[in-house]
Amino acid sequence: MTNGIVRAVDIGFGNTKFVTGHPAGGEIVCDVVPSLAPISRGISTIGGGVVGDNDVLEIQLNGSKHIVGKDADKFMPATGARILDPSYTGSDQYLALLRGALAYMNEPHIELLVLGLPISTFDRCSPSVKKLATGEHVVPNLGHRLNPEAPKFMTVFVESASVMQQPMGGFFDHLVRTKQLLAIKKQTALIVDVGFFTIDWIVVQEGKPNPSRSGGWNGGMSGTLRAIADAIERDQGVEIPTTSRVDACIRAGGTTLKIHGKETDIAPQLAAGKATARDYISVLASGVGTGEDIDNIILAGGGAVFFLAALQERYPRHEITVVKDPVFGNVRGFQLVGEDMLRRKRVLEQRAA
């Protein structure tokens, strides 16, 4: 059975982004939760899997329960950290995040679900991710929050799944938004996607990727945040076991962090993160080249704003475009590609009828 519903989810190491709707002629509606799925340790639940007053769900998986949602960080141990492992897609946490996203989508039947992977793991992991996403998923029913008489769980059926390289999502979103789909076939573009654990880049020449100049590196925002945290530890004489508060401070555009209850200026330590960002961009440049033949540089991903200066420093003669709401750039692009795939499928079905 087909129903024409397309949805997209981008399970990154830092955040899980997903599409909840796309009204005709309107903007794609996106949401995000941290990529955390701690084990639930006997916490009482209310509202069909909603834990306490926090916006979280309990995902039942392989005999255990995982906490997923906007407030999942509140259920992490003090020394807990995100999984930063290239084999992440095979973990229970990954599946819990996928099912959490499906629950928040609140759509019982999805004809096509589009997901993304870093370039470094795409070839190896895309078949297993596609298989993992396809089929039935039992998830908490959000309707139970408002109506206790409603079932606590619902079954989501994913009819088919497709997997994209993450940078291509942000690229496609940018091309559609700026109406450059035709123009890009005569240009050479560099697309950079800065995630939490990886920084990926693709060079597209005349509408086609150039594999020899594309690649990825395990670094991204996690490496820059750890460099800043290490500098704070060294200079302030304190221990910063996780980087989540440093991350929140930077995303808010601030330079002060509460340490032991006192406002502390961390502006001097931000230099360590910027130096790390420059190192990662140097790795990118070694594969891309000097850039004299590149017409456009497009920057996406949750770490786009922090890495902009380092990328501009490396390519000073280019005007670098940061996609709108860069944290959602990839997942919006996945949604658009999925909708286009479904339109093409319908055309072929009509021709064959």
Number of Cβ within 10 Å of residue 124's Cβ equals 12
pLDDT at 57: 92
pLDDT at 78: 59
pLDDT at 76: 78
pLDDT at 219: 82
Which residue in this structure is represented by tokens 């509202």?
A: 47
What domains lie within the chain, and their CATH numbers?
Answer: 6-165+330-352 (3.30.420.40)
CB 103 within 8 A of CB 31: no
116 closest CA partner among 16, 4, 218 = 16
pLDDT in tens, 15-24: 999 999 999 8
pLDDT beneath 50, residues of the chain:
44-52
pLDDT at 139: 96
pTM above 0.75, yes or no: yes
Compute CA distances 261 → 176, 257, 258, 274, whole Å.
47, 9, 5, 26
pLDDT at 55: 86
Which residues are paired to 15 by β-bridges?
Answer: 34
pLDDT in tens, 91-107: 999 999 999 999 999 99
d(CA 300, CA 202): 12
